């Protein structure tokens, strides 16, 4: 497979911007001294791939941001749980545990460890609950 001459061009960004703006291929050809067929082939084959990669990168970045937010919420829930345990506020402790469980579940969904349509049967299975309990409540 031959390398796309537009992809390796120092003017690639300007050519793609012109394509996006709808500039006629003949004008792009004249301005950048590239064959019209190369520009057309680049527009049909390379640009969609680049757009798909950019969209995937944007999606990954969004997931990272969401995961950071969930981790911050989880940290807050753990702090509240700690404060509730210190003040022996059982009701608040149970609420903090419930929130921590929801945060863990959401983080698992965001990281792909739990499918969105999977039911968690009130959260988690026994082994998972015990692991979470040890990590959150006992803080092992």
On the question of pLDDT at 124 being above 80, the answer is: no
Whether 4 maps to a domain, the answer reads no
SS (H, E, C) the chain: CCCCCCCCCCCHHHHHHHHHHCCCHHHHHHHHCCCHHHHHHHHHHHHHHHHHHHHHHHHHHHHHHHHHHHHHHHHHHHHHHHHHHHCCCHHHHHHHHHHHHHHHHHHHHHCCCCCCCCCCCCCCCHHHHHHHHHHHHHCC
On the question of pLDDT at 120 being above 70, the answer is: no
Whether 83 maps to a domain, the answer reads yes
Whether 26 maps to a domain, the answer reads yes
Whether 61 maps to a domain, the answer reads yes
Q: Considering its fold, how many domains does the chain have in total?
A: 1
At residue 101, the pLDDT reads 86
**Mean pLDDT across the stretch 89-116?**
83
At residue 130, the pLDDT reads 62
CA 132 – CA 140 distance, rounded (Å): 10
Whether 95 maps to a domain, the answer reads yes
How confident is residue 133, by pLDDT bands cut at 50, 70 and 90? Answer: low
Whether 2 maps to a domain, the answer reads no
Report whether 6 contacts 46 (CB < 8 A).
yes
CA 6 – CA 45 distance, rounded (Å): 11
Pull the structure tokens for residue 71: 């981790």
Task: Tell me the per-residue pLDDT of 7-45, one tens digit each, with 9 for 90 and over.
Answer: 999 999 999 999 889 999 999 999 999 999 999 999 999
Whether 1 maps to a domain, the answer reads no
On the question of pLDDT at 140 being above 60, the answer is: no
Domain that holds residue 52: 12-138
Task: Tell me the per-residue pLDDT of 31-88, one tens digit each, with 9 for 90 and over.
Answer: 999 999 999 999 999 988 888 888 888 888 888 888 899 889 989 999 999 999 999 9
């Amino acid at each position: 497979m031959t390398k796309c001459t537009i992809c390796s061009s120092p003017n690639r960004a300007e050519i793609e911007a012109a394509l996006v703006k709808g500039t006629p291929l003949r004008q792009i050809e004249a301005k950048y001294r590239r064959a019209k067929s190369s520009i057309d082939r680049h527009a049909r084959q390379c640009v969609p791939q680049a757009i798909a990669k950019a969209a995937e990168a944007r999606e990954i970045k969004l997931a990272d941001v969401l995961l950071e937010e969930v981790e911050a919420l989880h940290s807050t829930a753990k702090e509240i749980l700690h404060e509730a345990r210190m003040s022996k506020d059982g009701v608040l402790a149970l609420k903090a545990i419930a929130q921590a469980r929801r945060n863990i579940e959401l983080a698992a969904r965001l990281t792909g460890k739990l499918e969105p349509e999977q039911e968690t049967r009130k959260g988690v299975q026994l082994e998972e609950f015990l692991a979470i309990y040890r990590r959150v409540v006992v803080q092992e």
